[in-house]
């Protein structure tokens, strides 16, 4: 099974969907997975951008608070667990992926790593260049603290992945 197939299977375990797109069709596919109002942080991938979409980059705190969707890049993904690695960037990946109810993560297919071993070796490479800040986000926030399991606590209730097939 390819890493992407395994990634998709792992995502489906927590009702997250994976949408494949080529860079050329990015804006159209993005529209399908965004529930407005949406905020976003700049995407570092060649050929795709949030400019010219309805997604607000450099939002104000009020726009962040009121957004339904947050769009960010994921530095990489771990297929085995359905994990998205989101970096803390000046563009706000961390709060944008955290505050809105829906997180839309844009992932390059070449960044879908098979398992934790591959992910940690990637991480070690990144740390070798200097201290990193990154979160492994897997599924949606949840709690059992109110007597039963409930999804959607301080973090998102929904996760959507946009996979860049040609990157």
Partner 1 sequence: MTGRSDRAESIRHTMEEDGDAVHDHTATLNRNRYEAMASLDGGDALRRRAREIKEDAIADLPELIDRVEAAVEANGGRVYVADDAADANRYVQQVASARDAETAVKSKSMTTEELELNDALVDAGVDVYETDLGEFVIQVAEESPSHIVGPAMHRSREDIAELFNDYFDPEEPLETADELTRFARDYLGDKIRDADLGVTGANFVLADSGTVVLVTNEGNARKSAVTPDAHVAVAGVEKLLPSVEELQPFVELIARSATGQSIAQYVSMLSPPTDSPTLDFDDPNTPDFGGEGGDREFHLVLVDNGRFEMREDDQLRETLYCIRCGACSNSCANFQHVGGHAFGGETYSGGIASGWEAGVHGLESTEEFNDLCTGCTRCVDACPVEIDVPWINTVVRDRLNRGADPDAFDSLVTGLTPDDEPSGFALDKRVFGNFGTLAKWGSATAPVSNWVADAGPARALLERAVGIDRRRDLPQFARETFADWYADRGSRIDDPDAAVTLYPDVYTNYVRPDRGKAAVRVLEAAGVRVDVSPVSESGRAPLSQGMVSTAEDRAVETRAALEPALDAGCDVVVLEPSDLSIFRREYERLLPEGDAAALADAAYSLVEYLTACDTTPLAGDERVAYHAHCQGRTVGELDASEALLDCLGYDVVTSAEAVECCGMAGSFGYKEAYYELSVEVGETLADWAADHPDRTLVAGGASCLDQLDALVDRTPLHVAELLDPET
Residues that bind partner 1 (CB under 8 A): 41, 57-62, 64-65, 80-81, 83, 88-95, 98-99, 116-117, 120, 123-124, 127, 130-150, 152-156
Closer residue to partner 1 in complex, CB, 140/162 = 140
- CA distances (Å), 131 to each of 41, 73, 127, 146, in order? 21, 19, 5, 37
State in angstroms the smallest separation of the CB of 34 from partner 1: 18
Closer residue to partner 1 in complex, CB, 14/20 = 14
Counting DSSP H helices and E strands in the chain, the numbers are: 5, 12
**Which residues lie across from 72 on neighbouring strands?**
105
State in angstroms the smallest separation of the CB of 32 from partner 1: 25
Closer residue to partner 1 in complex, CB, 87/108 = 87
Closer residue to partner 1 in complex, CB, 18/96 = 96
Strand order in the sheet with 102-108: 17-21, 158-164, 102-108, 69-73, 38-40, 56-57
Measured between alpha carbons, how far is 12 from 6 in angstroms, rounded to an integer?
Answer: 10
Token pair for residue 90?
């000046």
State in angstroms the smallest separation of the CB of 69 from partner 1: 16
State in angstroms the smallest separation of the CB of 42 from partner 1: 8
């Amino acid at each position: 099974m390819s890493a992407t197939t395994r990634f998709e299977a792992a995502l489906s375990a927590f009702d997250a969907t994976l949408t494949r797109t080529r860079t050329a069709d990015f804006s159209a596919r993005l529209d399908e997975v965004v529930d407005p109002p949406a905020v976003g942080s700049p995407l570092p991938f060649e050929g795709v951008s949030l400019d010219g979409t309805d997604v607000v980059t450099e939002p104000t705190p009020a726009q962040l608070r009121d957004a339904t969707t947050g769009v960010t890049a994921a530095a990489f993904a771990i297929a085995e667990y359905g994990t998205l690695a989101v970096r803390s960037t000046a563009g706000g990946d961390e709060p944008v992926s955290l505050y809105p109810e829906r997180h839309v993560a844009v992932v390059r297919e070449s960044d879908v790593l098979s398992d934790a071993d591959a992910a940690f070796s990637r991480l070690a490479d990144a740390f070798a260049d200097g201290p990193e800040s990154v979160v492994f986000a897997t599924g949606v926030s949840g709690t059992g603290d109110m007597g039963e399991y409930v999804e959607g606590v301080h973090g998102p209730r929904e996760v959507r992945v946009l996979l860049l097939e040609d990157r």
